[in-house]
Amino acid sequence: MQVPENFLWGGAIAAHQAEGAYNTDGKGLSVADVMTAAGNFDERRITNGVKTGEFYPNHEGIDFYHQFPEDIKLFAEMGFKCFRTSIAWSRIFPNGDEEEPNEAGLKFYDRLFDECHKYHIEPVVTLSHFEMPYHLVTEYGGFRSRKVLDCFVHFAQAVITRYQHKVKYWLTFNEINNQTNYDRAFTLFTNSGVQIHEGENAEAVMYQAAHYEVVASAKVVKFAHELNSNLLIGAMVAFSPVYPATDKPDDLLKAQRAMQSRFWFSDVQVEGSYPAWLRKYQAAKQFNLDITDADLAVLKQGQVDYLGFSYYMSFATAARPGEDEFYSYNEATDLVENKYVPKSDWGWQVDPKGLRYALNWMNDRYHLPLFVVENGIGAIDKLTVSHQVHDDYRIKYLRDHIKQMELAINDDGIDVMGYTPWSAIDIVSASTGQLSKRYGFIYVDRDDQGNGSLKRYRKDSFYWYQKVISTRGEKLGDEYADDSK
């Protein structure tokens, strides 16, 4: 089985997890710059500004800011057709609310995109990937404020205008639906710059922030379409499907509500309007949201061109005893284990067939081209004395997922634009801040405390992926055991 000729094979990272240089060339602090490192199962702490004596892994990242020419050369060696990264908002608008952009920040991305084009690698660019200017949090409370909607649109207009001839593929908000997990401080903070105060209803705050984001997204889509008809603007959701735990009708209704709760974001971004159930739900729960008729009109004018999504794992849920008629879904409390799928060392349920399900589910619902912009497994890698990394577990994970994607393309007839596994190179983990939770094809010599030479080494998966790309997905390495059957 192969994928089409023009398929965009590549790899993905995000600015804040790789670039480092957190205060270089006029960059302002971002939300990622005030988050400490954690372990496999605890949360990163969010400090009140940058504190001396704390370790902030994103401050140095993997120094991609300075080493990107060498890294892109390695991506080209693997045969990448595209490279997904994000623009660090606070390089361009250090505080987020300035009128004029920071030219030094803009120049950095000119150099980065030019370097990609040198090797015929198409940049795929996320506008907001967990790295909004920290000043927007302290001054306005992040996306709980309509002011921040305008700041984002201003930022997006500046960079889309500047790079329109270098970047064709854009994504607005990374994993905009992660905040369905509104009880987890990390998610609301990284997605929206929102911190919940004592006594506040986090679910209501999430719906308000996300509303401003979908309106901002629509404004950006409209702007880009009017600016240059070559541009393609996508939405981006985390696709963890939520399966019903059993065949009980109540579990099915619960799982359906879970899927509606996780995907109303893309429903709005694709359809240009809110699903009816959600407006009923928000009214019944008396969330009292600022959603105006003018906003609803804006949503209609900015429907996305394609849907990007991440796929790492699947979830399962069961109805609670005494569930009310809303089957309200709270991701922090309503997930159950799925005994049919194994877990990674970080507890993520590994389920390759869920990717084929994801592609079919979104194709049935949205009828838009789909782009797998993240997929991968975080694992501990060992560098041998001869600087090799035998990461057969990563090869197996990616191989099993690519197989399912190829079935979706070839047997189910789904339009998949490309595949950019997470991550092109080892970077700082978003949820834990660890470097030891590695995802890359390229090993970076750095540990969780920030020690190491930052030297890059090709892993076994590097050579494996090179072959996958050069055979258009035909040679997936059948010597690696397949227990997905």
Pick 440 or 477: Cβ nearer ligand P53: 440
> CB of 389 within 8 A of CB of 326?
no
Token match 């790079």: residue?
163
Query: In sequence order, which ranges of 248-292 are alpha helices (DSSP H)?
Result: 249-271, 276-284
Residue 12's alpha-carbon distances to 86, 311, 422, 441, in angstroms, are 9, 13, 5, 11
Work out how close the CB of 5 gets to ligand P53 at its nearest, in angstroms, rounded to a whole number.
28
Rounded Cα–Cα distance for residues 271 and 175 (Å): 18
Burial class (CB in 10 A: 0-12, 13-18, 19+), 97: middle
> CB of 425 within 8 A of CB of 18?
yes
Pick 145 or 432: Cβ nearer ligand P53: 432
Rounded Cα–Cα distance for residues 481 and 478 (Å): 7
Work out how close the CB of 13 gets to ligand P53 at its nearest, in angstroms, rounded to a whole number.
8
Work out how close the CB of 239 gets to ligand P53 at its nearest, in angstroms, rounded to a whole number.
9
Pick 282 or 349: Cβ nearer ligand P53: 349
Q: Whose CA is closest to 136, among 198, 209, 197, 81?
A: 209
Taken in order 411, 413, 418, 419, the sign of the CA dihedral is negative
Work out how close the CB of 315 gets to ligand P53 at its nearest, in angstroms, rounded to a whole number.
10
Rounded Cα–Cα distance for residues 304 and 370 (Å): 11
The string of DSSP letters for 182-212 reads TTSHHHHHHHH---PPTT--HHHHHHHHHHH
- Is 54 noted as a catalytic residue in this protein? no
Q: What secondary structure letter does DSSP report for 28?
A: P
Pick 14 or 405: Cβ nearer ligand P53: 14
Pick 67 or 431: Cβ nearer ligand P53: 431
Binding site for ligand P53 (CB under 6 A): 14, 17, 130, 174-175, 178, 238, 310, 312, 374, 378, 422, 429-432, 437
Q: Which residues contact 340 (CB under 8 A, 6 or more apart)?
A: none
Question: Strand, helix or coil at 146?
Answer: helix
Chain centroid, CA 293 distance in Å: 30
Work out how close the CB of 376 gets to ligand P53 at its nearest, in angstroms, rounded to a whole number.
7
Rounded Cα–Cα distance for residues 264 and 249 (Å): 22
Work out how close the CB of 190 gets to ligand P53 at its nearest, in angstroms, rounded to a whole number.
7
Task: Write out the two tokens for 340.
Answer: 């049919």
Kindly report the CA angle at 84 between 82 and 85, in degrees rounded to 5?
A: 140
Work out how close the CB of 409 gets to ligand P53 at its nearest, in angstroms, rounded to a whole number.
23
Pick 403 or 437: Cβ nearer ligand P53: 437
Kindly report the CA angle at 138 between 213 and 140, in degrees rounded to 5?
A: 45
Pick 80 or 309: Cβ nearer ligand P53: 309
Catalytically annotated residue among 43, 374, 406, 479: 374
Q: Which residue's CB atom is positioned nearest to ligand P53? A: 431
Rounded Cα–Cα distance for residues 182 and 202 (Å): 6
Work out how close the CB of 85 gets to ligand P53 at its nearest, in angstroms, rounded to a whole number.
11
Pick 404 or 432: Cβ nearer ligand P53: 432
Residues with catalytic roles? 374
